[in-house]
Structure 1
Amino acid sequence: MAAVEFFYEFASTYSYPAAMRVEEVAAKAGVTVRWRPFLLGPIFAEAGWTTSPFNLIPAKGRNMWRDLERITADLGLPFQKPDPFPQNSLTAARIATSLPDDGKRAAFSRELYRMEFGEGLSITDAEVLGRALTAAGVEPATALVAAGSDQVKQALRATTEEAKAKGLFGAPSLVTADGELFWGNDRIEQAVAWAAKGGSA
């Protein structure tokens, strides 16, 4: 079956609606989704950025938040701007990395996005992380211990390095089997269609 890699960052605003709809779009086309949590911080740092470009360029940031309000309203998703922005996503990404990509990683990720951008909650809060894990059917204490292991830390670093090697510069990004890169929530349909037909322009 055709597949697409869904690279997402928990601090990323547009990854929220993307995470909520990518599975449905892909399923309709007979495409499977591989959930690939990674970190944008190291990629931004190489560009000399110390924060989100939405903070570096205020007008861009204002437009993004209004755009996100429109997108979530159209999708029937709750929206509340988290403070501070961007959130520190390291622990969340490690937890997601530690979970099997058998539905649990996706369920945890969707629930955490809903809490972060739907309720404005902090994804560094252990209680918030625990609630997201419980909603995904995962025992929080066990998952938090696993997320702190050297194996998981290395796996997340490896995924971030892989993302850089594939040319990723933002999130969400989707990569097809032939290496084609699609950036943004609004490119999900195009990425899935490309994957479904096996590539080619």
Structure 2
Amino acid sequence: MPKRPVLDFWYEFASTYSCLSALRIEALAEEAGVALRWRPFLLGPIFAAQGWTTSPFNLFPNKGRYMWRDMARRGGRSGLSFVRPETFPQNSLIAARLALAGREAGWMPAFSKALFRAQFCEGRNIAEEAVLNAALKAAGADPGVAYAASRSEEVKGRLKAETEYAKSIGIFGAPTFVTEDGELFWGDDRLEEALDWAKDGC
């Protein structure tokens, strides 16, 4: 059986558009015959390198207003009701470490989707332990084991390395999709195009 092409899905837990992609990417990838590699990372260091102290959606109010309205429109097309959390962007450090801790165990995608729903469909704070625990349990993970792994130097180092690698290949926002030949696509609205490129190279 021929090897399936692979698409890297780079996402940030505090990113609204990453949420949209996370909740629809698996079905689209399966239909396209493309394997996914879920790659959580942190946008904060990348923004800081550009001199930004917060999300551009906060720095530029008109852009922010447009984004929240766009989320409502795009979510509505998928039958999703989005809620603006009280805090935006949220602290996603522990969430990203937990996700990486679940990569080998196989629960990273389910955990990621559960956490995105908690944040942007229910308005919950993903930095709170109760919210993280609920997402872990929904993904079939043992919170005690997951937290222990997430606090290891190996996982902490892996997240730093992933973020640095994302920066080195030119990633500047999330979600970003990268094909095996290095083609980069930014934004939820480029997901279908990224899958086509991963499959056909054009």
Per the shorter chain, which TM-score range?
over 0.9
Question: Counterpart of 2:12 in structure 1: which amino acid?
Answer: E
Q: Which runs of 5+ in 2 are unaligned?
A: none
1:119 is aligned to 122
Contact map agreement 1:78 1:114 (CA 8 A) in 2: no
Question: Counterpart of 2:120 in structure 1: which amino acid?
Answer: F
1:59 pairs with one of 45, 62, 65 = 62
CA distance in 2, matches of 1:71, 1:102: 32
Matched, 1:192 2:201: no
TM-score by length of 2: 0.96
Q: Moved runs in structure 1, 4+ residues, more than 3 A? A: none
Give 3-state SS (helix, strand or coil) of 2:24's partner: helix
Q: Which runs of 5+ in 1 are unaligned?
A: none
Give 3-state SS (helix, strand or coil) of 1:14's partner: helix
2:19 pairs with one of 12, 16, 20 = 16
Question: Counterpart of 1:69 in structure 2: which amino acid?
Answer: A
Matched, 1:37 2:37: no
Question: Counterpart of 1:87 in structure 2: which amino acid?
Answer: Q
1:30-179 mapped onto 2 (5 Å cutoff): 30-100=33-103, 103-179=106-182
CA distance in 2, matches of 1:155, 1:14: 24
Aligned residues between the structures: 199
CA distance in 2, matches of 1:9, 1:84: 15
Shift of 1:103: 4.2
Shift of 1:100: 2.1
CA distance in 2, matches of 1:90, 1:2: 30
Identical columns (%): 55
Question: Counterpart of 2:18 in structure 1: which amino acid?
Answer: S
Deviations 1:45-64 (A, max 9, x none): 00000000000000000000
CA distance in 2, matches of 1:32, 1:16: 19
CA distance in 2, matches of 1:78, 1:93: 24
Contact map agreement 1:96 1:109 (CA 8 A) in 2: yes
CA distance in 2, matches of 1:155, 1:111: 22
- RMSD (CA atoms): 0.9
